[in-house]
Amino acid sequence: MKLLIIGGSRFLGRHLVSTALARNHQVTLFNRGHHAAEQSTVVENIQGDRNQDLAKLKGRRWDAVIDTCGSFPRSVAASAQLLADSVDVYTFVSSVSVYADVSVRGVDERGSLKALTSEQLERAGKIESSGDFSAAALGDLYGGLKALCEQAAEKVMPQRVLNVRPGLIVGPYDYTDRFTYWVARVAEGGEVLAPGAPDRAVQFIDARDLATWTIDMLERKGTGIYNVTSKPNTWTMQDILEQAQAVSDSDATFTWVDEKFLLDENVAAWSEMPLWLPEDAAPHLKGFMFVNSDKAVREKLTFRSLSETVRDTLTWHRAHQADVRLKAGIDRDKERDLLQKFHARDKVVS
């Protein structure tokens, strides 16, 4: 199979390339060249900006394209239009953030999608013009824009689109550091501030499992819309921390701090405390970690063990990020101060 990957040099893209090469598929990357592709010696690289240089792809033929970095519907529509006669399947990597309502558990692919207001669309246009497509810049526009991108691809190539909606993606080469923070922090040892309740469910997908399933689907010329994440209630926050402790053999201890304390101390959910979504303060997100992935499982989506994900993430972190400040997670001094204040509060209460 001949594959074109738009993006392909970071995180999920790396694993898509590795998986495809392991199965003897031919891979072409099309990206701006801002991040070196690890397999550059065996992969064809076409350097260009998808908003300016799509013409570089004209006259070529691939079995499928995987769009790993589409953020704006106009851009995705342009890519699909140019490739409509050049590929059989257009794969768009979307997100479960497209859903309008995740206040309840069990949202599946039939759930209603976010819609952007005229004001939000205007803001999106300005961001697109600026060239800053980061998650921080997109903010509350992210889910709605991904939904519009899905629709744009389907409009151009009806019934020939594979829309992949992952949950939180984790594992080696994760540049967001949200999962990596916990693995690295526990390995460091000492008293670890843990948010909320130990049995709070968390939901995510190892990037390698996502890549394997995506290539599997393309080998079968699969199309349609799929939530691609772990089954709800598979893992808890305590599972992650305990696995990190076991893998690293650290002396870490966990102090579970209640949500009210964290909110009163203005601790930022998801960024300072990755994977933590306070239920009382964010009732509209109560189902975010409980998305239904049965449809993808029926199409042979499988999951590696949590210990393997934790171990490989730690190995990668130590090899490539040991001296790099993580993008997510709480500052050590602030963590220490919060733990002291929490213990002092408990003494007063008792």
Average pLDDT taken over every residue of the chain: 95
What pLDDT is recorded for position 32? 87
Work out the average pLDDT over 100-109. 97
Selection from 33, 24, 25 nearest residue 6 by Cα: 33
Residues 106-148 have pLDDT tens digits of: 999 999 999 999 999 999 999 998 877 777 789 999 999 999 9
Question: From CA 286, how far away is CA 277, in angstroms rounded?
Answer: 8
Structure tokens at 268: 């930022």
* Element at 26 (helix H, strand E): strand 26-31
Residue 290 near residue 106 (C-beta atoms within 8 A):
yes
Q: Are 262 and 281 in contact (CB under 8 A)?
A: no
Contact 326, 181 (CB under 8 A): yes
Position 149 pLDDT exceeds 90: yes
| pTM > 0.75: yes or no | yes
pLDDT at 35: 64
Helical residues (DSSP H) of the chain, grouped into ranges:
12-22, 73-83, 118-130, 135-138, 142-156, 178-188, 207-219, 237-248, 259-264, 294-298, 306-320, 332-349
- Domains recognised in the chain with CATH numbers: 1-166 (3.40.50.720), 174-203+232-289+307-350 (3.90.25)
Q: Examine the pLDDT at 39 and tell me if it is beyond 60.
A: no
Q: Let me know how many helices (H) and strands (E) the chain has, helices first.
A: 12, 13
